[in-house]
Amino acid sequence: MAIPGEQPFHPSGGRSTHAVTPCDILIVDDDPALCRTFPRVLGRPGRRFDECASVGEAILRLERQRYDLVLLDYRLPDATGLSVLEWLTGRAREEAVILISGEDTTDAVIGALRGGADDYVRKPYSVAHLQRVVDNALHKAALEAANRAMSQRLKASEQLHRYLVEISPDLIFTLDAEGRFTYLNPRVSALLGYDRQSLMKQPFASIVAAEDLERFEAQLSRPGRSFTLELRLQRRHEDADRRLGDGVTVSLTAIPMEHVDGPLGPASGLYGVARDISERKRAEAIISFQAYHDQLTHLPNRALFKDRLELAIAQARRRGGMLAVMFADVDRFKLVNDSYGHAEGDALLRGIASRLSESLRRGDTLARLGGDEFTILLPDVERPDDVESVARKIIATLGAPFKLSRADFRATVSIGIALFPRDGDSAEDLIRHADIAMYRVKRSGKNAFRFFEPELNSHHHDRIRLENELRLAFERDELELHYQPQVSLSRKEIVGVEALLRWTHPALGSIPPSTFIPVAEEIGLIGEISAWVMECACRQLAEWRAAGHTALRMSLNLSPHDFGHRDIVDTVIDCVRRHDLPPAQIELEITESLMMNDSDGVAAKVRALRDAGLSVAIDDFGVGYSALAYLQKFPVSTIKIDRSFVRELNGQAGNPIISAITGIARGFGLCMVAEGVEEVGQVETLGDLGCDVMQGYLFARPAAAEQVGRWLDGGMEAMAD
């Protein structure tokens, strides 16, 4: 270490080129000659000298400035140099002091050294001796200054580390060899509710939750090894009973501190840090829940249901037992969403989920696959009758109406059931077969249950094939329209035709509309088909009008699903206008059931069509929910008497229902068309009841446009031929 004010020698013998440390020296002596001599003999690069001649002046200088070295004469005009030493000691000053005096008594030397002088030089002295004493004093002062600086840094570092430990958001602790606390930072109070002093010398195990205690003690029993584990620490609540409350999940890291020298000698034990990860664990739990549960109903989702089903299958296979899978679909759920909004639909789904859960056993699993579809796992089933009892209980539970904000709604479900091992030995097969059985319930009237049967699978495969073939029908040009004449008895001529859709498949042959129209409605293809029918029928009517049949009326059917589209009115009107047709010569047939569903919306669209000049007929009138109120609400122009009533006419006086229908038609000023006329007696009876327009096999079967064109040109005689 370089001596302040002294340029150290380089090992090669020359002076170092390193910068020297500045050094301030105060000379206190009343001999002017000595004051001039000292700087010359003691001067070194970096050394600066001040001088004064009395104790008072020296103290004034020291009050204004700190020095590295004071050369102090013993005898001064106003007091001895001991007064300066006493002043420096009283203020804990750090200047090095060399007392220079002619006093040769031992008492003077002892007094000077006891007063705080670093050395004592007797006069007379040699210059070399003085230089050596000054250099040693400055070197010692430099070492002491460096030591003080290092001590201050160590103290500051210790304070910083202690501060960091004390304010750490983690629980920091040390344990002795027996696992007892020897130190705890204040975090333990906020984290667990304990006063840290109350835990000192207590075993760490005393705050570990019971379910994690064995794991912790197993790690603690392996001395000399670090470990990390997650565990729960008991939180202490300061309630009246001072009971242990809920726990805190921490990530604990412990490091051995074997033979560490402490203030009391060698020590061993553990240094540990416990970080609170409760929020992270809660977030992980939420993420895990969301990954395996439905967000609306909080029921298990498809993934979790499949996991539980596969586990139940494995257990049933080992025990040779039986289990059941139910597939439940809410009937008419779309009606709620469309009528009241999705918020009401969500409320209904939550209510249904709650009632379904109440119908099941504790070990059963109810899951929501999405939309209005639910699956149920019934493990440990002894016989199919037990499953049937659960299905009946579910249907009965849903019997009471659900109170929605805008109205009550009676929900029903269609349930398909598959049994293991009879109906499949895998989760996929059981769910699929239960789904197939459910769809058969849907097509058979809903609000019921059905067990899977092998023949349903073949029907299901046929259904899938039919769906695929129907989607290709447009590309293959397999759809066509046939037309059945409507005859006026009074005018003895064809006054209209009904467009009837036909599908001729190259392999399957002729497929009736009753088979493929419901499929088209379920797969969402009916809108495209209806648009195609509308376009073909309008184009054909335009051709017949161009051929001179200007009074002919075209009747065609619209699916109830078509009225679910907002643009149905614009689509129809646009098609009629593009083909330059009188709107009154287009008659759209709707069903009675359509009037029952969302009557306000349907009525508005029917009214818009009527306002545009089109005719609207009620098809199959009298079969379903006929009511005068609907005839008042819906501005229809024609009612069609269903073939089932016409079939019962056997030349007798008539049928009471037909009599009532004809009376209603006359009362409301509506036209009538009887369909399904096959016998002459039916014609006579209908004519007597006031029905003039008829259609049926007695007059003509539906035929292609070319054949109907010849009938139109040849009249009734051509049709009779």
Question: Do 644 and 589 belong to one domain?
Answer: yes
Phi/psi region, residue 224 (left: phi>0; alpha: psi -120 to 50; beta: rest), is left
More confident residue, 194 or 661: 194
State how far the alpha carbon of 279 is from the alpha carbons of 80, 231, 247, 450, 568, in Å.
74, 14, 12, 47, 54
Distance CA 122, CA 253 (A): 66
The number of distinct structural domains making up the chain is 4
Question: What is the CB neighbour count within 10 angstroms for residue 472?
Answer: 10
Provide the β-strand partners of residue 172: 273
Longest dimension (CA), the chain: 166
More confident residue, 262 or 463: 463
Question: Do 213 and 131 belong to one domain?
Answer: no
The DSSP secondary-structure symbol of 206 reads: G
Question: For strand 23-28 and strand 47-52, is the pairing parallel, antiparallel, or unpaired?
Answer: parallel
Distance CA 639, CA 641 (A): 7
Query: E strand or H helix at 299, and its extent?
Result: none
Distance CA 639, CA 666 (A): 11
Question: Which among 456, 380, 455 has a CA at the least distance from the CA of 416?
Answer: 456
More confident residue, 172 or 650: 172
pLDDT of residue 9 exceeding 50, the answer is: no
Distance CA 184, CA 587 (A): 90
Percent of the chain with pLDDT over 70: 90
In a domain, 8, yes or no: no
- The tokens of 367 are what? 């899951």
Alpha helices for 22-126 (secondary structure H): 32-42, 55-64, 82-90, 106-114
Residue 3 confidence class, pLDDT cut points 50, 70, 90: very low
* CATH number of the domain enclosing 132: 3.40.50.2300
Residue 476's Cβ-count burial label (10 Å; 0-12, 13-18, 19+) is exposed
Helix 513-522 and helix 526-546, axial crossing angle in degrees, nearest 10? 130
Domain end: 283, 316, 343, which one? 283
Strands (E), 331-434: 365-370, 373-381, 402-403, 408-409, 413-420
Q: Provide DSSP, 470-496.
A: HHHHHHHT-EEEEEEEEEETTTTEEEE
The residue behind tokens 């007696």 is: 681
Percent of the chain with pLDDT over 90: 38
Model pLDDT, residue 138: 87
Alpha helices for 612-655 (secondary structure H): 628-633, 643-647
- The tokens of 412 are what? 């029903």
Are residues 522 and 515 in contact, defined by beta-carbon separation less than 8 angstroms?
Answer: no
- According to the 3-state scheme, what is the secondary structure of 312-348? HHHHHHHHCCEEEEEEEEECCHHHHHHHHCHHHHHHH
In a domain, 12, yes or no: no
pLDDT of residue 721 exceeding 90, the answer is: no
Model pLDDT, residue 581: 95
Question: Do 441 and 539 belong to one domain?
Answer: no
DSSP helix/strand/coil, 633: helix
Give, in degrees to the nearest 5, the angle at Cα 367 between 366 and 373. Answer: 115
Question: Do 226 and 328 belong to one domain?
Answer: no
The domain in which residue 547 lies consists of: 481-720
Question: For strand 479-488 and strand 493-505, is the pairing parallel, antiparallel, or unpaired?
Answer: antiparallel
Are residues 493 and 487 in contact, defined by beta-carbon separation less than 8 angstroms?
Answer: yes
Model pLDDT, residue 696: 92
Question: Do 119 and 39 belong to one domain?
Answer: yes
> Which of 61-65's residues contact partners 24+ apart within 8 Å by CB, and which partners?
61/26, 62/26, 62/87, 62/88, 62/93, 62/95, 65/24
Question: Do 32 and 119 belong to one domain?
Answer: yes
Provide the β-strand partners of residue 376: 326, 366
The DSSP secondary-structure symbol of 509 reads: E
DSSP helix/strand/coil, 641: strand
Domain end: 232, 248, 283, which one? 283
Model pLDDT, residue 245: 47
Residue 590 confidence class, pLDDT cut points 50, 70, 90: confident
Question: Do 548 and 693 belong to one domain?
Answer: yes
Question: Do 298 and 433 belong to one domain?
Answer: yes
Letter for the amino acid at 78?
D
Are residues 460 and 439 in contact, defined by beta-carbon separation less than 8 angstroms?
Answer: yes
Are residues 558 and 586 in contact, defined by beta-carbon separation less than 8 angstroms?
Answer: no
Distance CA 63, CA 91 (A): 10
In a domain, 57, yes or no: yes
Question: Do 113 and 200 belong to one domain?
Answer: no
Residue 449 confidence class, pLDDT cut points 50, 70, 90: very high
Task: Give the pLDDT mean for 189-198.
Answer: 88
More confident residue, 104 or 567: 567
Mean pLDDT value across the chain: 85
In a domain, 212, yes or no: yes
Residue 599's Cβ-count burial label (10 Å; 0-12, 13-18, 19+) is middle
pLDDT digits 0-9 by tens, 36-72: 888 988 988 989 999 999 999 999 999 999 999 999 9
For the chain, the C-alpha Rg in angstroms (whole number) is 53
Are residues 69 and 26 in contact, defined by beta-carbon separation less than 8 angstroms?
Answer: yes
Q: Count each helix (H run) and each strand (E run) in the chain, helices first.
A: 25, 28
* CATH number of the domain enclosing 571: 3.20.20.450
More confident residue, 519 or 553: 553
Question: Do 385 and 364 belong to one domain?
Answer: yes
In a domain, 85, yes or no: yes
> End-to-end CA distance of the chain, in Å?
134
* Half-sphere exposure in the Cβ direction for 233 (13 Å, CA): 27
In a domain, 9, yes or no: no
Question: Do 404 and 546 belong to one domain?
Answer: no
* CATH number of the domain enclosing 221: 3.30.450.20
pLDDT digits 0-9 by tens, 536-578: 999 999 999 999 999 999 999 988 888 877 788 999 999 999 9
* CATH number of the domain enclosing 434: 3.30.70.270
In a domain, 468, yes or no: no
Domain end: 283, 307, 336, which one? 283
Question: Do 297 and 395 belong to one domain?
Answer: yes
pLDDT of residue 12 exceeding 60, the answer is: no
pLDDT digits 0-9 by tens, 282-321: 888 888 888 889 999 999 999 999 999 999 999 999 999 9
Distance CA 96, CA 143 (A): 12
In a domain, 89, yes or no: yes
Distance CA 505, CA 499 (A): 19
Provide the β-strand partners of residue 75: 80
